[in-house]
Structure 1
Amino acid sequence: MKRGIRWGAFAALFLFATMMVTFAGAQTAVDGAIGGTVTDSSGAVIPNAQVTVHNNGTNADQHAVTDGSGYFRVVHLQPGTYTVTIAASGFQTNQSKNLTVNVGVMTSVQAHLQPGAAAQTVTVSGAAPLVNTSTPTFSGVINNYQLTHLPVNNYRWSSYALLTPGVVNDANGYGLLSFRGQSTLLNNVEFDGADDNQAFFSEERGRTRAGYSTAKAAIQEFQVNTSNYSVEYGFSAGGVVNAVSKSGTNHFHGQVYYFDRDSIWNAYNDYTKLTVPSGTGFTTEPYKPTDLRRQYGFGVGGPILKDRLFFFLAVDRFYHDFPGVSTPGNTFFYSQPDATVSNGCSASAVKSYSTIDADVCSLANNLTNAGLPTSYTQAVADYNNGIAGLNTMLGVAPRFGSQMIYFPKLDWQINKKNHASFEYNRLNWHSPAGIQTGAGALNYGKRSYGNDYVRDNWGIARLDTFLTPNVSNQALYQYGRDFEFEFSQQPTSYEQNTLIKNAAGYTNPFGGIPPEVYITPGNGGFEFGTPAFLERPAYPDERTWQFNDTVEWTRGNHDLKFGYQMVHTHDLSENLYNQYGSFSYTQLYNYFTDYYLAAQGGALAAKARNYSSYSQGFGSQGFGFSTVDYATFVQDEWKVSPKLSLTMGIRWEYEQTPNPQLPNTSNANPAYNIPQTGVLPKDKTNVGPRVGFAYDVFGNGKTVVRGGYGLFFARLINSTIYNAIAQTGVLTTDPNGNPLAQLQFSYNPTTAGAPVFPEVVTSAGTAGSPPNVIYFDPHFRMPEIEQADLTVQQQFGRHDVFSLTWLGAWGRRLPDFVDQNLPAPVQVNYVVNDPTGQGPLPNGKVLPVDFYVKAATSKVQLSNGVTATSSGRPNPYYGAETDIFSGVNSNYEGLVVQYEHQLSNHIQFNANYTWSHALDYGENNTSGTSTNALFDPTNLRLDYGNSDQNVPNRLVVNGVFTSPWQAHGLLGYLANGYEIAPDVQVQNGLPYSAGTNGNAFVQLNGKTLSYIGSGPTGSGGAPRAPGLDRNYVKRPRTAVVDLRMTKEFPIKGKANFQFIAEAFNLFNHQNVTGINTTAYNFGSSSSATCGANQLCFNAVNKNGTYTPQYGQVTNTNSSGFAYTPRQLQLAVQLTF
């Protein structure tokens, strides 16, 4: 408690002191700087030298005077090329031309003035130094040369971040990135100094289903901050990707491009197959679905008023035609029953039947027992007709995505002291059937993918002001709206005739929107109807208001920054889960039983309850709420000596959360109250110091040691807040009887009020089951990560740099989810049943586990007065009580080796290798919430193991090689201008755990124990097999080799026309995107070989030969983004 008061008081004083200097704040560096020390020929410093920094593109000048140590720094320079002129009395004027300034980096100038008259000018090479001698940050700049010359598969400019060390893809390859082994949800994406994140899902605005969110031609360069970044960056415990857009200059410049990718040039995916009935069986053939991508657009910039007003405009169009392949989860679906079985379904013969024949017998028995006498022969016909009906929803599903982006920008040099810029980005994406983006086979009906839409609009205004030659101010304002919504597709004829209005006269009450039907894919089924996650009128509709202001004061060898930031976010999310109902079947024959009974109507239809479970959601469609992120900081960049630079700063952050909207705290009976639902976190203790150094060992700019340490905080994800607002377990209703909170009711066929297929429950009414609850732990704190790094960097020759870096990151207070409404566990023993000897655990091994036993249920009265069956938990009035707590730690250490060859002799080459190890106690990558993410809810230590993002070895190599010869005349157009650019990324596969499947069959003292949830502990937690470490095994390595080949035709020295050919995954390496992680199956009461308390190795017995299913690859190259089969692309591009 005293520590909290001390930190809070410090934060208040710190905020007050900062605001006394200025109501100021910065978020990110969107520009660069030029600085250095001016000396004479003997090395003595020259004070009071006049420095002029000239922007070669806009003719804007900035001025500075060297201090007593000969040092100067000029800040707020747009990325581009500059000329630096330095003059001093008694010395010749020194001029450095074509200096390159990159975002977030200070370009060093070491000027040595020669004695002579000022009228004499000495011009030197303006090449930017290869070694950064002034800042401690471990980061990399992806410059425009790399952006325009290297291949990238998925069009996302942020994917170039994968070229830098310490960065890996998420497990699915969908475009999310992990920095230093941290969650993909802890990063920060910036665009021109403004927040480019969606707070609801903690991803880049537009998310990953849209093609990309920024026009290809709009990006000048971007900076990837992997570790120990400046206090100007915040609300991130992962990495920061900081982009800078192009601007207009006094010269017209731009590009026009057209990229064409067609699946006829592509390789097959080994796991995308089309299975169709054939005679008495089925045929399965490799299938290459259509994959057409068209990207075209232009970017152009130039002057409106020379030296004063400039424009830039980018327009980008993207079209992606990628039909899905709807298939059942198992080819068993297409098996044909034997219509000539002589004994029919007699008890003495049924055991000898094939599985499909036995299923037909089950169908016949079900219908007969329900009062519809059915022979085996008739059941065969019914079964085949049922399959034929379902098959109408399988096959190739039309699917495409189309988007348009507009990006206009104005730069206004108001006068010598003020520069303003205004920009606007509009993204419009629509994708019929585009919610499910998987490139492989999908276990969904053709009309159950869902339609996806994105409307992303934002505008930024920024003003840079030089109050004095040494004091500047940068103010930024942004308004943005990221509006995403998703709806169901038009039902198929089968769905309309079965689920909406059937032959017996039933009509669905939801206006033609059918319920979901889920038939277990492993048993040959798939999912059709309306997916439980739809409809989503707003998911989310997010509006952002942002204000930043930064004051920078250069005083002697000190560069001081004072900053303030505010980001106000309003989220509206309308997504009542499962609002149209969901029937779940484990077997096809049970579904067919209900299908045929429902068609009969009357008393037979009333018996259509052969589903395993039915569930439906009720309550408010959605909720709106606001969060406000505040930050303020102070930083001093101190040039202690020409060799040593120190950076010291401190940053305070606070995320203001909304008030609860439906607190479950005011029931007349206190037993119904959940006090935790009445409070959301208010953590004001987030004060992060950061310190770093850069030491130029020999003072020649070729050998540098850099290092630093910082404390960083991540923000609380808004979708997590939403769940805590919407699911408090309150049973209060509106005047129409609809619950105010979002509630989920589950039924089994014998539950009172359970519907008959295909009917749904029309209102919550007296539906009674204890509701689930989600709340924040009273001690919840914002995620915190300490970062440290140490780098030794050495330049060799004029163009080569080698560096060695150690990286460390230690996460604390990371969020996770645990069910608190659980009984005290009892210890049970599992026994491994593995006669094959091929599993990870030895046969016969005894594994003690704490098991959470569901108590006997009884009738209880809920808070709304409805009588329901108790939950069998300590608090019988509620189901799962999900506690969002901040108690997970993580550890990451890495060693990075980098080599860079700057463009010379027609070669640019970069290579980096990262060795690392990431460990944690089950860091959760869920943006919303999960009921119970832990293996054992009362023993967090059992989850310690390799991180989900642990990649021990990763190698990245890329380069650009241009033709060295120079022919002349007409021959030169044919022989010159060739370029080849490879990009190679190889790494260990991501880890996974050996899992179990389904619900445990456990006995103790001869009595079968009921379970709270699935998994070996019966708690509904992680299904990992006991006795094995989490993430102890790795997928096969991933390897992606992309290649670009270019032929360039110069046009009168003013433009270049390019023919481009690209190959992605050139060697068609089978990068694993799906793998069977089920190592053991639980026993069952009906099995003669796998009984109570047994974990039976997942293997298939074929004629006495066991084939392990665990670890078998189920899909490769199916992400559609990072991992695809070999694809070829052709393009033309005009640059001027």
Structure 2
Amino acid sequence: MAVNQRTKRVLQRSALSLALGICFSPTLYAQSNTSGAIFGQAGAGSTVQIQNPATGFSRSITVGNDGAYRFSALPTGSYTVTYTGTDGSTSTREGVNVNVGTGTSVNFAGGRSDASTLDTVQVRATSAVNPIDVSSVESTTILTAEQIAKIPVARDATSVALLAPGTVRGDTAFGNLASFGGSSVAENQYYVNGFNVTNSFRNLNFSQIPFEAVAEQQVKTGGYGAEFGRSTGGVVNQITKRGTNEFHAGGNVFYTPRSLNSDTVNYYYRNPLAPDDVGTLAQDNSNVDTNQWITSAWASGALVKDKLFAYGLVSYGDTDKGLAGTPFGDKPADEETKRPTWLVKVDWNINDSNKLELTGFNDTSKIDTDVYNPETGEYIGTRKQENGGQNWIGKYTGYFTDTFTMSALYGHGEFKRKDGARTATGLDVSYSGDLNDPASGCPRILDVRPTYRQDLTGGEITSSCNITNDAIDRADSKDTRDQFRLDFEWSLGDHLIRFGYDRDDYESIAGTSIEGGRYWRYSTVNPDGVVNNGDEYDIVREQITNQGSTVKLKQWAMYVEDSWNITDTFLAYLGARWDTFENYNGEGQQYVKIDNQFGPRLGFSWDVLGDSSLKIYGNAGRYALPLTPSVAVRGASASLYTRQNYFYTGVDPVTGAPTGLTPRGGLQYINGEFGEPKNPATIAATNLDPMYQDEYILGFQSQITDHQAIGARGIYRKLKAAIDDNCDYTPIYDAAVADGLTPNIPNAGFPYCRMFNPGEDSVFLTDVEGNGVLTEYTIPADLLSPKAKREYKALELFWDGSWEKFFFQASWTMSWNKGNTEGGVKSDIGQGDTSVTQDFDYKELMVDSYGYLPNDRRHSVKIFGNYQFTDEWSLGANILVQSGRPQNCLGVLYPYHGGIHPYGSSFFRCGTTEAGGADGPSEAVPRGTYGRLPWTNSLDLNVAYLPQWAPGLQFKIDVFNVFDQQKVTAVSEVAEDGTTGAPLNTFGVYRSTQAPRSFRFMVQYDF
């Protein structure tokens, strides 16, 4: 049967579009987080066969009466697609790429003439970026290992994710994490081969496979379907390499020498309200440098040809870092990280209808940090930390019929969080987790006495033996995850139905104690407020904070979605997800349950011209986030948190601890009685909703030449509900007094802080009098806090190009991120207590808190690509130009009941300091109005050499931050002393800058 010229052009244009490859490919038709699909049109009754030449995997389908065919749940790779018509005619497409989460369209006509017309077009993999995919409503980025290798980018999941539009680097206080679409860094999910590897304890970490083992990385920045949940930020999904019929082996070494690193700039005091210190060195970075090498070796091949395959990799990395402020000693590094990691992947093609996969990996890292006395340079000891563990993932895929597929996945993962220290004399510092057995070692010391008092008593009081100056984790801390999921896919005519069930159980053994068991705070009492008139006296406060429990998070979900081809050019997507979250405290008692949280998802994709050259698409969805298990360790479980003031007669010259103690007042228990578990019914509002947000996206893509495409999309995200804690007990106290009760505060049934939805009326059960009787109180929202607000608006523009030897992607994101809460964490002060930040503890803290948030970057321009000059030489580049983040001025709230609010310098107010103290009302400085940090720009380059005289050998040099731009990226925003309101000289001091110029060398050999 002949076809008209329009049909021929459509088929040819579709094939050429496919030839551009799949890289930054947003797809709906195949949303599986481990596999992809091939689909298309062919003559009714004809046969379509796919085969992966590398593994021998093969499947055949007889095309139905509607002319549509689909191969779902395909392992990623390159396929050959063969069409056999009812008249015996054949046509073959070679090099059809299948990437994770994508559907690749390959169309055949119904007769011999049509097949032969297209037979001259062979589809082969190229390095294109962001091709037009008319089956998509998502915003998804996919980069393969080959493409990542050609771009000068750090070899970790976050750095690759930051190439995607709409992502910005999070505050360094939380490590190397990304913010997606204005959300906090604690709202993302991370997967390896479909298994959730997010460290859900605080959502601020994730298990990481050796980067050399990554075959593809998919980054979902928005619009993802009902299969994905538990994220209000983004999704990072990595697929590992696997074995094929051909044996491959190799190894490489990456080396970053400290000798070629540029010096890190020093940080100086710059607060004009403390003029005596302006220009004085605040942080000495002369010792800051990095020396790193990572070596890997791998091998892969067939254990049984076409049936059983294996891939294995071992890797070892060693990183030496010099730390800021410790320029003493001869050692060039103060922190050493060793990473002995490995990964194994086994694939078994049982037959054409059944597949099994097994993945195992270990990401253990050991960190030793040498600590020196800042006054003498004497070695004190070494802090010893260990993170990571083993993960095992098993997956079965069954192709039951041509139209029905099922997959089942089970995974088990462990993540250790060991912490401790060893003193210079060989003594071990550790914490067992027993509330009555605090951590060993030297206590933490803080001296806040005025200078004239220090002079009278012989100087500032410090410890010469404290190693961590912090709390340490219990020795057996670890997180364990067990995940099981079932996913089904069923093609029914114009409908592709997908549905499934996901169970994810998470357990954390957690707890902390202050090193040495005590935190001593020296201060001066001045009864009449007159300085140095002889009536002042010194006191010391003892604080003990011990936590230890085993807490759990149980979560499961069901989803269903329908991709409906209403016409040949218009696809509608309808999806729904139901999430259930349960949180358990250390006694095994449930204290939060959110049942069947509904998350609808809607979308469309319109192939305007019918030839895949112009696509208009959109989606809308609701996304929910569970409460992290970390909340339960102190807030919902037994803990010890006490304070007591003493007079003292002397100070231990080594430890800094006071001697000759006499109590000044009684022992104060904070947030509960001594070691008593909290009543689980009192920890959270009984009407608690999960944190969730709504998202809307509308966009288009257009092919402007055979090698170039442009596109744009608008994004709007709005936070609908947040979870945080409130510590103002006065509304409940007042209600209880009005009922004629005598409140007993605190007790195990009346915790100071309770979980709630800011801005909503909250229903609390409270043991007011400590007698075990729970009373229900509904507290109006206006007595607790304003509503949590966060909005993200963005316009993303794209330009993509791909030629035989050159590819690039350029994007420009204009965004506005505004609200009164960042989300799970608080970058303003670097607070990483996910879901229990100080934001909503008291309603006064939220005054003037609405404004541009820390992850707001008005403009972000990203350009990256690679040019292959010859068969031997190539050049890669990566450019980032970005506007700076907003600044705040945080000070005290004065007057507050005749003094300064007990939360100190946590308010969006400054101005009490100009007269030298809190002698006048503070002035409002609303969030984000104190100016912005400067624009940053960086250029990274690499040169690769593949000598033809030694096939398999490669050399590469990466240069990061070529022009050594070290613009500031974060500053200290706390402007006033929290006790006196006096100006802090640390206000405005840099907290982080762009990393200095560095070089990375690579040599690799494959055979």
What TM-score do the two structures reach when normalised by structure 2?
0.78
Matching residue of 2:286:
287
Kept after mapping to 2: 8 A contact 1:310/1:410:
yes
Determine the C-alpha separation between the residues in 1 that align with 2:61 and 2:102: 18
Matching residue of 1:425:
361
Shift of 1:296: 0.7
Q: Is 1:517 aligned to 2:445, yes or no?
A: yes
Matching residue of 1:732:
none
Determine the C-alpha separation between the residues in 2 that align with 1:995 and 1:575: 28
Shift of 1:240: 0.6
Determine the C-alpha separation between the residues in 2 that align with 1:559 and 1:547: 23
SS in 1 for 2:544: strand
Which shows bigger deviation, 72-81 or 940-949?
940-949
Relative distance call for 1:930 and 1:633 in structure 2 (3 A) is closer
Determine the C-alpha separation between the residues in 1 that align with 2:350 and 2:659: 65
Kept after mapping to 2: 8 A contact 1:519/1:527:
no
Determine the C-alpha separation between the residues in 2 that align with 1:476 and 1:425: 16
Matching residue of 1:1131:
1002
Shift of 1:454: 1.6
Determine the C-alpha separation between the residues in 1 that align with 2:702 and 2:962: 34
Q: Deviations over 1:370-426 (max 9, x none)?
A: xxxxxxxxxxxxxxxxxxxxxx89997732010111101110001111010111101
Determine the C-alpha separation between the residues in 2 that align with 1:862 and 1:752: 32
Shift of 1:770: 3.7
Q: How many residues align?
A: 872
Shift of 1:285: 8.4
Q: Deviations over 1:284-342 (max 9, x none)?
A: 987244421001102322111110000101111110011324459xxxxxxxxxxxxxx
SS in 2 for 1:186: coil
Shift of 1:265: 0.5
Shift of 1:772: 2.2
| Higher share of residues assigned helix | 1
1:1029 to 915, 926, 932: 926
Q: Is 1:412 aligned to 2:348, yes or no?
A: yes
Determine the C-alpha separation between the residues in 2 that align with 1:861 and 1:230: 47
SS in 1 for 2:259: helix
Matching residue of 1:59:
56
Relative distance call for 1:142 and 1:639 in structure 2 (3 A) is same
Q: Is 1:238 aligned to 2:272, yes or no?
A: no
Kept after mapping to 1: 8 A contact 2:908/2:926:
no
Q: Deviations over 1:90-122 (max 9, x none)?
A: 373121110111110101112245536999993
Q: Is 1:34 aligned to 2:29, yes or no?
A: no
Matching residue of 2:792:
892
Q: Is 1:1114 aligned to 2:955, yes or no?
A: no
Relative distance call for 1:289 and 1:177 in structure 2 (3 A) is closer
Shift of 1:979: 1.0
State the one-letter code of the partner of 1:422. Answer: L
Determine the C-alpha separation between the residues in 1 that align with 2:976 and 2:318: 44
Matching residue of 1:598:
none
Relative distance call for 1:877 and 1:451 in structure 2 (3 A) is farther
Kept after mapping to 1: 8 A contact 2:286/2:324:
no
Relative distance call for 1:201 and 1:939 in structure 2 (3 A) is closer
- RMSD in angstroms over aligned alpha carbons? 4.4
Relative distance call for 1:757 and 1:136 in structure 2 (3 A) is closer
SS in 2 for 1:147: helix
Q: Is 1:115 aligned to 2:112, yes or no?
A: yes
Determine the C-alpha separation between the residues in 2 that align with 1:169 and 1:262: 25
State the one-letter code of the partner of 1:79. Answer: T
Determine the C-alpha separation between the residues in 2 that align with 1:895 and 1:451: 46
Matching residue of 2:569:
643
Determine the C-alpha separation between the residues in 2 that align with 1:987 and 1:409: 39
Kept after mapping to 1: 8 A contact 2:191/2:238:
yes
Kept after mapping to 1: 8 A contact 2:647/2:662:
no
Determine the C-alpha separation between the residues in 1 that align with 2:186 and 2:282: 43
Q: Is 1:699 aligned to 2:636, yes or no?
A: no
State the one-letter code of the partner of 2:617. Answer: R
Matching residue of 1:746:
643
State the one-letter code of the partner of 1:296. Answer: T
State which structure, 1 or 2, has the greater radius of gyration over its C-alpha atoms. 1
Relative distance call for 1:818 and 1:77 in structure 2 (3 A) is same
Shift of 1:125: 1.6
> Percent of aligned pairs with the same residue?
20
Matching residue of 1:247:
242
Determine the C-alpha separation between the residues in 2 that align with 1:90 and 1:806: 48
Relative distance call for 1:233 and 1:860 in structure 2 (3 A) is closer
Shift of 1:148: 1.6
State the one-letter code of the partner of 1:1130. Answer: F
Matching residue of 2:385:
452
Determine the C-alpha separation between the residues in 1 that align with 2:660 and 2:339: 39
Q: Is 1:1009 aligned to 2:899, yes or no?
A: yes
Kept after mapping to 2: 8 A contact 1:445/1:527:
no
Determine the C-alpha separation between the residues in 2 that align with 1:1016 and 1:117: 71
Kept after mapping to 2: 8 A contact 1:1062/1:1129:
yes
Matching residue of 2:657:
758
Determine the C-alpha separation between the residues in 2 that align with 1:435 and 1:695: 61
Relative distance call for 1:91 and 1:793 in structure 2 (3 A) is farther
Shift of 1:809: 0.9
Matching residue of 1:736:
none
Determine the C-alpha separation between the residues in 2 that align with 1:790 and 1:426: 41
Determine the C-alpha separation between the residues in 2 that align with 1:698 and 1:632: 36
Which shows bigger deviation, 442-451 or 91-100?
442-451
Matching residue of 1:772:
671
Q: Superposition pairs for residues 577-588 of structure 1, below 5 Å?
A: 577=514, 580-585=517-522
Matching residue of 1:307:
306
Q: Is 1:167 aligned to 2:66, yes or no?
A: no
Determine the C-alpha separation between the residues in 2 that align with 1:442 and 1:81: 62
Shift of 1:541: 1.0
Q: Is 1:680 aligned to 2:591, yes or no?
A: yes
Matching residue of 1:1047:
945
Relative distance call for 1:518 and 1:940 in structure 2 (3 A) is closer
Shift of 1:201: 1.7
State the one-letter code of the partner of 1:1014. Answer: G
SS in 2 for 1:217: helix
Matching residue of 1:98:
95
Determine the C-alpha separation between the residues in 2 that align with 1:324 and 1:521: 28
Shift of 1:134: 0.5
Kept after mapping to 1: 8 A contact 2:908/2:927:
no
Kept after mapping to 1: 8 A contact 2:474/2:513:
no
Shift of 1:616: 1.9
Matching residue of 2:541:
613
Shift of 1:1034: 2.0
State the one-letter code of the partner of 2:35. Answer: D
Matching residue of 2:141:
140
What TM-score do the two structures reach when normalised by structure 1?
0.70
Relative distance call for 1:538 and 1:705 in structure 2 (3 A) is farther
Kept after mapping to 2: 8 A contact 1:33/1:73:
yes
Determine the C-alpha separation between the residues in 2 that align with 1:80 and 1:862: 61
Matching residue of 1:674:
none
Determine the C-alpha separation between the residues in 2 that align with 1:771 and 1:1067: 52
SS in 2 for 1:148: helix
Determine the C-alpha separation between the residues in 1 that align with 2:369 and 2:804: 50
Shift of 1:609: 9.1
Determine the C-alpha separation between the residues in 2 that align with 1:763 and 1:111: 90
Shift of 1:550: 1.1
SS in 1 for 2:722: strand
SS in 2 for 1:146: helix
Kept after mapping to 2: 8 A contact 1:1016/1:1026:
no
Which shows bigger deviation, 621-630 or 698-707?
621-630
Q: Superposition pairs for residues 348-497 of structure 1, below 5 Å?
A: 398-433=334-369, 447=380, 450-491=383-424
2:960 to 1061, 1064, 1075: 1064
Relative distance call for 1:1082 and 1:135 in structure 2 (3 A) is closer
Kept after mapping to 1: 8 A contact 2:651/2:657:
no
Matching residue of 1:833:
none
Q: Superposition pairs for residues 769-808 of structure 1, below 5 Å?
A: 769-772=668-671, 775-808=683-716
Q: Is 1:80 aligned to 2:77, yes or no?
A: yes
Kept after mapping to 2: 8 A contact 1:1042/1:1065:
yes
State the one-letter code of the partner of 2:879. Answer: V
Q: Superposition pairs for residues 594-609 of structure 1, below 5 Å?
A: none
1:652 to 559, 578, 594: 578
Which shows bigger deviation, 1030-1039 or 575-584?
575-584
Shift of 1:686: 0.7
SS in 1 for 2:104: strand
Relative distance call for 1:407 and 1:511 in structure 2 (3 A) is closer
Matching residue of 2:839:
933
Determine the C-alpha separation between the residues in 1 that align with 2:660 and 2:943: 60
